[in-house]
Amino acid sequence: MASQEIAKVGKRGTIVIPVELRHRFGIEEGSYVVIEESEDGLLIHTAVVMPIEMYTPQRKAEFLLSNAVDKEDYTWAVEEVRKMGLDPDEVLHCKPPGV
C-alpha cells in the first residue's frame, strides 16, 4: 500500500520530501525529480538525467567524414566540412574503402 505524507511548501515553492520516502526512492541532495500534472494533482517521481555532449565543429566534421560509406557519400561529406570552414585533410578520420 502506498504511504501518504504531508509536506509543507516553503519559500520559492520548495517541498521537503520526508526522509523515509527519500531513502526508499534513493533521493538525495542534488537528485532530480520529474513533476507531472495528473487528473488527481501532481505526481513526483525520480528522474534519470544523462549529460549531453556538445560537439565542436571539428568533432562534427570527424563524424561526417568517418561515417561516409562510399565515394559519393565521402565527396558529399568533404563539401559539408568545407562549408563549415574546415579543411577535410586536417580532420582526423577514416576514409571509406575505395576512396
Distance, CA of 89 to CA of 78 (rounded, Å): 9
With CA atoms as reference, report the closest residue to 90 among 72, 73, 65: 65
Structural domain including 23 reads 11-46
Classify residue 99: in a domain, yes or no. yes
Classify residue 5: in a domain, yes or no. no
Query: 34-38, 70-74, 95-99: lowest mean pLDDT where?
Result: 95-99
**Whether residues 58 and 39 fall in one domain:** no
Predicted structure pTM score: 0.52
| Residue 15 main-chain phi, psi, to 5 deg | -125, 130
Q: How many CA atoms lie within 13 A of 5 on its CB side?
A: 12
**Whether residues 66 and 89 fall in one domain:** yes
Residue 2 in this model has a pLDDT that exceeds 80: no
